[in-house]
Structure 1
Amino acid sequence: MTASSDTTILIWNLKGEVLASINTNQMNNAYAAVSPCGRFVASCGFTPDVKVWEVCFGKSGDFREVTRAFELKGHTAGIYSFSFSNDSRRMATVSKDGTWKFWDTDVEYKKQQDPYLLLTGRCEVAEPCRIALSPDAHVVAISCGTTIAVFNTRRGEEEERFVGVHGQHIADLAFDTTSRYLVSCGDRAIRVFHNTPGYRAVVEEMETMLRKTTTKATRERLEQQISSAKKALAAICGRKQ
């Protein structure tokens, strides 16, 4: 996929042939991306929404068409960027209106069902601004200038802030596929951070599951996983558990 600064997105195959052309009708394309699962392409721009399309293939793998899937609506100003979770069932957006939003996109869009807004948080915004949603959807990272703020997606709380990460504006953000690390790039450098809010979110989620479980085997498994996660977090933070 390639996106131009006007309203055009082109879908390509690996032979360099154009499969489809999309007119986003957003006055301009500020950001565009392919979902990690490869099923969707999306864009944002001047308008306060994100438009998402499904790239459809036949059973034999032949390209069929690109169809509208859904839109993320709720911001009051243009959107800087967005991000998918690993399975594309969650998305996050950041806007010029000074908010970021966390969405449930696991919907039956072919039946006209719209995504659900799960959470809205406040954040600092200034162009360029990027957002990254961890693959497991537990954490959102937002870059503004040379600063990165990291929020949990359960309550929208800011848990970490990294100031002056790069000498110039941060160009992009991404999590690794395991959600253990956050990576930023800018000024000819790449910085890698431990995703400690992600570890804490996993511990919190498993502790909630532990309180609800009624089987001994599940309880023992969760207790072991919680212990391992806490030890990993303690090692990162330089503390003894």
Structure 2
Amino acid sequence: MSEEEASLPVIAVTAAVGAVVLLFTLLCSVFRKEKQPSEKEDEQEKKVPTNVSSEKSSSSKKNKPVSRTTKKTPQVAFSHPWLSCTLKGHSSRIVSLDFSPNSKYMISASEDRALMLWSVKEFQQKEHKYIRGNVELDTATHIVFSPDSRALVASLANENAVRIFRLGKKDDGSHSVTISGAVTFPSKHQQDIIGVGISSTGKWIMTCSGDTTILIWDLKGEVLATIETHQVNNSCGKVSPCGRFVASSGFTSDVKAWEVLFDKTGNFQKVKRAFELKGHLAGVYHFDFNNDSRRMASVSKDNTWKVWDTDVQYDMGQDPKLLHSGQVNFPGPTLVALSPDGRTVAVGGDASISFWDAVQGQPDQVLENVHAESMSCLKFDISGRYLVCSGGKHVQVIHNVTGYKATVAELEEKLRVASGPGMKERLKQQLSEAREALNSILSSSPNGSSK
């Protein structure tokens, strides 16, 4: 073998090895190029959460002031020179109010299952304490005081029955009043009870349901009589302050009254038709009596209120006489309250109240936005000094300024025609006191609300 032939394998091997090295170098270079974007992507992915978090934090800081606009605007508290105070304590909507015949207390019933007893003499004070009673396993829908001011008659939402509550005193000698359930009558009504009442004699209790039924009960829970009102449905049912009548209104355009009769020995006799208020053109939402039942007020779907003279001989066929009528400008169902002396008519609708002079039939004042919610109760106290109303969780206590004005006008007229010196002197004194009371209210601001 020649020297030239022997060198060929060495060259071939050297070329092959070089080729392998070159291929390996190329492969490593390609691998590096592919790996670098992947590593960059990993690094970017690692950085993304940090960037997003930072953006969120920055966005959160920028949006903080915006969150204030999502808060509810607080309800502006009602304020008016006629306002005496606002009673607070209930946690849910108030559904019924009543005053004790002895003029000392007011009771309020709410959907929070609580009964709260308030002192009337504290209405002009800054602090308003209350005594709480609970309605066990139910909710009171309507409530009234007994004639002796020592018990309460309430209708119940779930049982649709009547429960008697007793007002007692604690045994610790503190003279604090307690409210406790005593007796529950059997459920007799087919539809919900919409009104309760008790006669001033304490002999009988009335319940009125949403159909056309009124029941008269004795104090032991026995039904004495059933009244069919024939009004398609009942919207309001009440017992007159004199204790003689029970009345109802409903889908028809009249208010019907019946007399509940007992014999001389105190035994129940019968219920007979007494009189009707006729004059509205549509169903009657609500009605009210004055303290001696000689006057009544009613409010109707026909957008009118009316005051009636019910001091008539209905046994002789006489009908109540229409005294005054006025327009109602509130939407939806309305309530009416007649002051005990019959001088003031208050009509409540939605969240506003209009005051009218019931003697002259003239408008006096409209109070708007009295409550944050629609009105549920409207009632004068026994003395006629205050009108109370509820809407939502609060009770507004309002001075009956319209009544004071009517009293002043009436005393001025009596003084003008008075003849005897003694009579004139008494009228002057009464007129001076009425003017002083009126000026005191109009010149003062609201006393505040309970906490």
For residues 13-162 of structure 1, the aligned pairs below 5 Å read 13-162=218-367
Shift, 1:63, TM fit: 1.5
Q: Work out whether 1:195 is the aligned partner of 2:384.
A: no
Give the number of the structure with larger relative contact order, counting CA–CA contacts within 8 Å between residues 6 or more apart. Answer: 2
User: In terms of mean alpha carbon deviation, does 139-148 or 54-63 score higher?
Assistant: 54-63
Query: SS at the partner of 1:3?
Result: strand
Shift, 1:162, TM fit: 1.4
Shift, 1:166, TM fit: 1.3
Shift, 1:127, TM fit: 2.7
The 2-side partners of 1:99 and 1:186 are apart by 22
Alpha-carbon spacing, 1:181–1:58, altered in 2? closer, same or farther (3 Å): same
Amino acid at match of 1:140: V
CA RMSD of aligned residues (A): 1.0
Shift, 1:238, TM fit: 1.1
Match of 1:178 in 2: 383
TM-score (norm 1): 0.96
Q: Kindly indicate whether the alpha-carbon contact (under 8 Å) linking 1:45 and 1:79 is maintained by their aligned counterparts in 2.
A: yes
Shift, 1:98, TM fit: 1.1
Match of 2:370 in 1: 165
Q: Work out whether 1:207 is the aligned partner of 2:412.
A: yes
The 1-side partners of 2:258 and 2:391 are apart by 30
Shift, 1:126, TM fit: 3.0
As a proportion of its length, which structure holds more helix?
Answer: 2
The 2-side partners of 1:2 and 1:191 are apart by 27
The 2-side partners of 1:18 and 1:188 are apart by 35
Amino acid at match of 1:42: A
Query: SS at the partner of 1:137?
Result: coil
TM-score (norm 2): 0.52
Q: Provide, for residues 7-26 of structure 1, a one-character-per-residue CA deviation record: whole Å limited to 9, x for no partner.
A: 00011122111111000000
Shift, 1:123, TM fit: 1.6
Match of 1:234 in 2: 439
Q: Kindly indicate whether the alpha-carbon contact (under 8 Å) linking 2:301 and 2:333 is maintained by their aligned counterparts in 1.
A: no
Query: SS at the partner of 1:56?
Result: strand
Q: Kindly indicate whether the alpha-carbon contact (under 8 Å) linking 1:56 and 1:64 is maintained by their aligned counterparts in 2.
A: yes
The 2-side partners of 1:16 and 1:185 are apart by 30
Amino acid at match of 2:431: I
Q: Provide, for residues 87-116 of structure 1, a one-character-per-residue CA deviation record: whole Å limited to 9, x for no partner.
A: 000101111111111110000001111111
Q: Kindly indicate whether the alpha-carbon contact (under 8 Å) linking 1:26 and 1:47 is maintained by their aligned counterparts in 2.
A: yes
Query: SS at the partner of 1:36?
Result: coil
Amino acid at match of 2:286: S
Amino acid at match of 1:88: S
Query: SS at the partner of 2:235?
Result: strand
The 1-side partners of 2:328 and 2:361 are apart by 10
Match of 2:54 in 1: none
The 1-side partners of 2:396 and 2:421 are apart by 43
As a proportion of its length, which structure holds more strand?
Answer: 1
The 2-side partners of 1:63 and 1:174 are apart by 30
The 2-side partners of 1:17 and 1:127 are apart by 37
User: In terms of mean alpha carbon deviation, does 42-51 or 164-173 score higher?
Assistant: 164-173
Query: SS at the partner of 2:319?
Result: coil
Q: Structure 1 regions of 5+ residues with no counterpart?
A: none
Amino acid at match of 2:307: F
Amino acid at match of 1:63: F
User: In terms of mean alpha carbon deviation, does 118-127 or 70-79 score higher?
Assistant: 118-127
Q: Percent identity?
A: 53
The 2-side partners of 1:22 and 1:171 are apart by 26
Amino acid at match of 2:269: R
**Which of the pair has more CA radius of gyration?**
2
The 2-side partners of 1:171 and 1:128 are apart by 10
Q: Structure 2 regions of 5+ residues with no counterpart?
A: 1-205, 445-451
